[in-house]
Copies of this chain bind each other. A is one copy, B any other.
Amino acid sequence: MHPSTVSRALSPDMKHLVADAVAQRIHAAANALGYRLNLAAAALRTGRSGLIGVLVPDIADPGFPPILSGIADQLDAAGYATIVVDVGAHRSQQQFVDRLIARGVDGLVLATVSLRDSIVKHCLDAGIPAVLVNRLDGSARLASVASDDAEGMRLAVNHLAELGHVSVGHVAGPSNISTGARRRAGFEASAARAGLSARATAVEIAASYTREAGREAALRLLARRQRPSAIVAANDLLALGVYDALAARGLGCPIDVSVVGHNDMPYVDMLSPPLTTVRIAQRDMGEAAAKLLLERIATPAAKREHIVLAPELIVRGSTAAPPA
């Protein structure tokens, strides 16, 4: 049979150009022969690979699987496959991006960018559609999806203020990462609005989003003259470190110090005590990012959108009224 007719019959977009009867026969024959389209050839011809690259900072961080799952679902449905790259400890993402571009990816989802990240410019220069997820860059030059960090901190701080806490500390994330910087800013703004004095709202910055860094920052907080009666951590991993620090100092949670996390990672309800935390819509974030990317692939000139998702406070056992 005739190659172009076959091609048309097999392509959903071009199928209308071919007689239904013929299309049927072609599909039947294709099935019978076990014929499968060679996507590499199609990619070469069309310049579209049907591949999307996703960069994550650490695939073992429990926050990312739901995001990836949301991304993959949406992209799968649109016929794209995703290549997930765990950037890990590597210094520069640029080489990873370049390798993905060489593979011909049609777009990029970046869950790795820091606030002043040259990778954003690199993607812009390469002219490749890209969106940010979970993190923002300072100049907001790419479309993005993230949780409302200010609102999340407001929920956490107000909850503690309502319980009667007046001295609240914050274990902040790295300040070059948007969640670190924005949650810190949100914390400070909410604390001021709740009438907490600046002196009673100490902040210590963790060097990374890890349990160990959280422990160290919390120890610094606990060593302060005015020991806080509650600590808000910038994420759950840091909150785990806060638990470690409290145990190391012989302090009870929530009896001596209340703790609030951020992200609601799996199984924090099993901790002792179960962690009060700000749940963010990770799966939705992934789905929204994928949709945004698909739009930008279809319409590269589309206006940059910055989607902000509402978080939710999950109250568990790690928060209580301050000691009398």
Hey, which chain B residues are within 8 Å of A39, CB to CB? 102-104
Query: Is B65 a contact partner of A69 (Cβ separation < 8 A)?
Result: no
Q: Which residues of A, 91-127, contact B by the 8 Å Cβ criterion?
A: 98-104
Q: Shortest beta-carbon distance, A279 to chain B, in Å?
A: 15
Judge whether A163 is part of the interface by a CB distance below 8 angstroms: no
Judge whether A49 is part of the interface by a CB distance below 8 angstroms: yes
Identical chains bound together, number: 2
Among B65, B85, B102, B271, point to the contact of A59 (Cβ < 8 A): B65
Q: Which residues of A, 12-66, contact B by the 8 Å Cβ criterion?
A: 36-41, 43-44, 49-50, 59-60, 62, 65-66
Hey, which chain B residues are within 8 Å of A99, CB to CB? 81
- Chain A interface: which size bin? 35 or more
Q: Which residues of A, 67-98, contact B by the 8 Å Cβ criterion?
A: 68-69, 72, 81-86, 88, 98
Which residue of chain B has its CB nearest to the CB of A125? B34
Query: Is B60 a contact partner of A65 (Cβ separation < 8 A)?
Result: yes
Which residue of chain B has its CB nearest to the CB of A211? B267
**1/0 per residue A245-271: CB within 8 Å of B?**
000000000000000000000110011
Query: Is A40 a contact partner of B43 (Cβ separation < 8 A)?
Result: yes
Residue from A50, A82, A86 with most neighbouring chain B CB atoms (10 Å): A86
Among B40, B101, B272, point to the contact of A49 (Cβ < 8 A): B40
Q: Which 6 A-B pairs have the closest CB atoms?
A: A272-B272, A40-B43, A60-B65, A36-B102, A40-B44, A59-B65
